[in-house]
Amino acid sequence: MATLIFIGGGARSGKSSAAVHRALSLPAPRVFIATAEARDEEMRARIRAHQEERQAGFETLEAPRDLAHAVQQNHHAHVLLIDCLTLWLSNLLLDDLSDQAIDDATTAWLDAVADHPGNVIVVANEVGQGIVPDNALSRRFRDLAGRLNQRVAQCADLVEIRFFGLGVTLKDLSAAAGVSR
């Protein structure tokens, strides 16, 4: 059964760095599951920066859509680091999936995570603290991201939100159970 660690926050809050640091503190093998797609030069530069930050501590797997399969195929890994759920959701929206299909994909992924024998660290953006978006697609994305984050937080053993490079623990079942990580 997996230990699920969920790290969220806004843009440039330090969530990816915190996730990498936590993953590197755990024993190898480690697999980084990347959901981003390099659709333009700016995104390619962001991906390169993340790769440099990870260095050689990870095997990298690109899985922009089928996260359940990516988790199922990596039971050998002591640590899976998925960065990020928000981009995964964007990819599904760009594929024109229905809300139900996205919910089904989320359920399949969470089931795969529950079956993983190691640690799963997940990064996601908090996108609901700003203004109400001015168009239907943006509002749908915000609403779906909020529901996705809630579902993951409910399943997670540890939930941390990042602000200004600092983490605030919202949930820690290991502390309640007296278990150390």
Among all residues, which ones are annotated catalytic?
50
DSSP secondary structure letters along 113-150: HHH-SSEEEEEEE--SSSPPPSSHHHHHHHHHHHHHHH
Determine the angle formed by the axes of helices 99-115 and 136-155, rounding to 10 degrees. Answer: 20
Contact 19, 53 (CB under 8 A): no
Which SS3 state, helix, strand or coil, does residue 82 take? strand
Residues 67 and 37: their CA atoms lie apart, in Å, by 14
* Euclidean distance between CA atoms 110 and 56, whole angstroms: 27
